[in-house]
Chains A and B, each alone.
Chain A
Amino acid sequence: MAPKKRPPLLLLLLLPLSLLSITVDAALGQAVVVSTWAFREATRAAWRAVDGGGSSAVDAVVAGCSACEELRCDGTVGPGGSPDENGETTLDALIMDGTTMEVGAVAGMRYVKDGIKAAKLVMDYTKHTLLVGEKASLFAISMGLPGPTNLSSPESIEKWNNWKENNCQPNFRKNVINGNSCGPYHPEFENSCDHGEERGSNILRVKSNSDVIGRHNHD
C-alpha cells in the first residue's frame, strides 16, 4: 500500500498565518481617503465617490483632486496659481493604480485646466506614463477635455506683476549674472560656480530652496 502524501510541516505551520493576513485585510472592507493638507472639500469629494458612489479607488482620487483643482486649493492646485517667470500657470498631475501598477501623468501642461483627468486619460488610453508640455495639452483636448483655455487668473497676474516690481525676487536662478534682477541671465564663469555645498564631518550637506518654498508655494 502506497503511503499517503502528507503536506509538508512548514506549510501546515504557515497556513494559519497567511489566512490571518487575508482576514485582517479583508476585514477592513471599508474605504479610506487620505490627502495632504487640510483640503477638506477635496477629501469629502473623494469620500463621496468611494463610499456613497461606490467608485473605484482610482476614480475617487480623480474626484478628490478634481475638486481641489476647481477650488484652487491654497492657490497651489489647478489653474490660476503659481505663475512661472513669464506669468504662465502650467499643471502637473499623476494617477497611480496600485492594483495594476499603471501610471498616467502630465507635466508642464498648458491651456488645459483639468490636470488629474488628463493624467487618467494618459493612463487609460496610452501605453505611456508621462506626457509633457503642449503635446500633453493637445492629447488631453483630443481626448475630450475642454481647452485651450487661459490658465492665468487676476490673482496670479497680480502676484507676477508684484514679483517683477520687486526685481523678480526671489527666483530659482543660481550661478548666473543678473540673478538679483529680472535678467537676462547668463552663466557665470564655470570655475566660480557655487553648488551650495557644505562639507561637514562625512556628510555632504546641500542647500535647498528653503528661502522660497512655503505654505503657499510648494509642490
Chain B
Amino acid sequence: TISMAVIDKMGHIAAGTSTNGATFKVPGRVGDGPIAGSSAYADDEVGACGATGDGDIMMRFLPCYQVVESMRRGMEPKQAAADAVSRIARKYPDFVGAVFAINTKGEHAGACHNWTFQYSVRNANMDDVEVFTVEP
C-alpha cells in the first residue's frame, strides 16, 4: 500500500491511498484502503494522515481520522500518531500496522506496531526525498 499526503503551496491538503490489498484474501474482501479515515484522511485546518498495515484490523479503528482529530485537539503529530496506534494495540496486541501524521506547519512523525516502519518526505528544504525510519 502507498498512502500519501500532500500540502500544496496554497496550503491545501490532500491525502490518498492505492493498494492491491492482502495476498490470498477471500475473494471480495476489501481492506482499509478505500475507507476515508482509515487508510488516509486530510483536513486543511489541521493536517493529514496516512496508514499501512493489516487493513482488516485498522479499518475497525479509523486511525487516520483519530490522528487528525487528535491534532485538532492540540496533539503534536508524534503524539497523535502514537496514540492512534496504541488504541489498536490495546485491543489487538499482535496487530501489524503504522501511521504517519503531518500538520499544517509541515511537522511530521510516524508510529508503528510490531514492525519497523519507514515513510518518505520531500519538502523545499531537502535536496531529494528523505526516508525516516520508525521503530516499534
Contacts and interface: CB of A to CB of B under 8 A. Distances in A.
Interface stretch (A4-12, A102-110, A140-148): A102-110
Given A31-B7, A35-B3, A132-B30, A97 B124 contact: no
Interface residues of B, number: 79
Contacts of B118: 36-38
A28 B106 contact: yes
B34 A92 contact: yes
Given A24-B105, A68-B18, A76-B1, A172 B33 contact: no
Interface in B37-93: 39-44, 48, 50-58, 90-93
A132 to B, nearest CB: 7
B106 A214 contact: no
Contact of A89 (B5, B17, B20, B40): B20
A115 B20 CA distance: 9
Contacts of B115: 214-215
Interface of A: 24-26, 28-40, 42-44, 46-47, 50-51, 54-58, 60-62, 64-66, 68-69, 73, 75-79, 81-86, 88-99, 101, 103, 105-108, 115-116, 119, 129-130, 132-133, 151, 159-160, 163, 168, 170-173, 203-210, 212-219
